[in-house]
Amino acid sequence: GQISVRDYRAFVYAKFSVNVFYPDPRWYECNSAGAKTTSTLTQAVLTDDPGGTALMTDMTITLGDGSVNDPYIENQTTGSKLKFSGNPNGAVVINTSNYTLTDNGTNAIGSLDRTGSTTTDWFRLQPGVDNTFDTNTTFSIAYTKAFI
């Protein structure tokens, strides 16, 4: 229940604690209007420093155009690996924030294979170092730089 400092006036002081919950302690890069900005990594650069100072786990990854069977992407720096099992009908879009996977716009979460991934998060980008990617298709990773 609630108490007031007045209840403890005779003791000259009051000791209390407050629980504060931080669902995500990271700060994210924003523009001057306060809206999150998006950075992108693509297959044109297989090794790149994503920027930021905190581990990045919220992103949208697009794999290929449906022309490659079992498209996958692995961040060899963090051990994260995502693979679409089967022959996609179009672009495979993986949203690690909402835990969704679509194939050409259709829900295909059952085709997600994380075998070989050494991370509990779906995918990670490590800040401050070059991240090295291995893939068998074209890809883009849209993310917001995170800071601590």
Partners of 103 in the beta sheet?
Answer: 92, 106
91-144 per-position pLDDT tens digit: 999 999 999 999 999 999 999 999 878 888 999 999 999 999 999 999 999 999
Contacts of 146 (CB under 8 A, 6+ apart): 26, 27, 28, 29, 52, 53, 54, 55, 56, 58, 127
Buried b (16+ CB within 10 A) or exposed e, 70-96: ebbbbbebbebbbbbeeebeebbbbeb
Residue whose structure tokens are 């700060």: 27
Cα separation, 61 vs 131, in Å, equals 15
* CA distances from residue 9 to 6, 14, 87 in whole angstroms, order as listed: 5, 8, 72
pLDDT digit string, tens, across residues 25-80:
899 999 999 999 999 999 877 889 999 999 999 999 999 999 999 999 999 999 99
Q: What one-character DSSP code corresponds to residue 84? A: E
